[in-house]
Structure formats: C-alpha cells, structure tokens
Amino acid sequence: MKRENFSRKRQAILEAIRSTTVHPTAEWVYQAVKPQYPDLSLGTVYRNIARFKEEGLIHAIGVVNGQERYDGDIRPHNHFVCSQCGSVMDLSEKYLSQEIHQLLSEKYDMLVLSHELIFHGVCQKCLYQKPVSDQRGA
C-alpha cells in the first residue's frame, strides 16, 4: 500500500512539472502537489526530481535567483531567462543547427550529443516597468 502511495505521489510530482510552462522550482512543485498529498515532504520532491533528471524525464534549466528550475518539455528547445524577475520562457526558434554537433565533434575530437542555448536579458513585462535607461546602466 505504501508503495502505491509513493507511486501516486511520484506521478503527481512529475505531472506538476510537465503541466506548466513556468519552469518550476522544487518549492513550486511542492506547493502545487501538497494539497493533494498533505504528508508530502520537500525532501520527497527533491529526491523524485533528481530521479526524473537521471531518467531523462525532465531537464534542469539552471539556477535562477538561487533556485534550480526544471522543464518537463524534454524536446530540444532554447530558453530565455529574465535577469529582473527570473522568469524562464521557452523559445521554439532554432538558433543552432544539429550540424554544430558534427563540426565540434570533429574539431575537438569528441562526441557532442546535444546542446542547450539560454539567452539572458530583460523580459517584456520588466522592460516596460522601468525606463530602459535604468536597466541598461545596471
């Protein structure tokens, strides 16, 4: 019975990550799943996220504002991270072709399997909250 509960919690954690485009933190996932499973611990969320990453079910985007962010969309795509508010957005445009893998593999005598491209800047929402001159001087 306990094993079945763990399985349901695990599935709920994975679904919480996959069902959003906010690129959640572990804390966000915990808050989203906790009402459904009141005995859920933050440690359980972290352990399952680590397992999902190992299994290739989710990707880690990187640390934004001190917290690691995750993506349930494992298809190849790029990201934009806002340096003001920390939002992470998917970018569907392809900026680097798969040919770069072959070129780098040959040039450096290694095997490139994948790449990630993350753009950093100021999102539209933040850009229009303050005058542009205030943000570029910082």
| pLDDT, tens digit (0-9, with 9 covering 90-100), for 57-89 | 999 999 999 999 999 999 989 999 999 999 999
Q: Is the pLDDT of residue 2 over 70?
A: no
Q: In whole angstroms, what is the distance from residue 88 CA to residue 123 CA?
A: 9
Q: In whole angstroms, what is the distance from residue 26 CA to residue 28 CA?
A: 5
Query: For all residues of the chain together, what is the average pLDDT?
Result: 90
All domains of the chain in start order, with CATH = 1-72 (1.10.10.10), 75-138 (3.30.1490.190)
pTM: predicted TM-score of the whole model, two decimal places: 0.81
Strands (E), the chain: 59-64, 67-71, 78-82, 88-91, 118-121
Say how many C-beta atoms besides its own lie within 10 A of residue 32's C-beta: 18
- Which tokens in the block code for residue 46? 């972290």
Which pLDDT band, with edges at 50, 70 and 90, does 7 fall under? Answer: confident
Question: Are the C-beta atoms of residues 99 and 87 closer than 8 Å to each other?
Answer: no
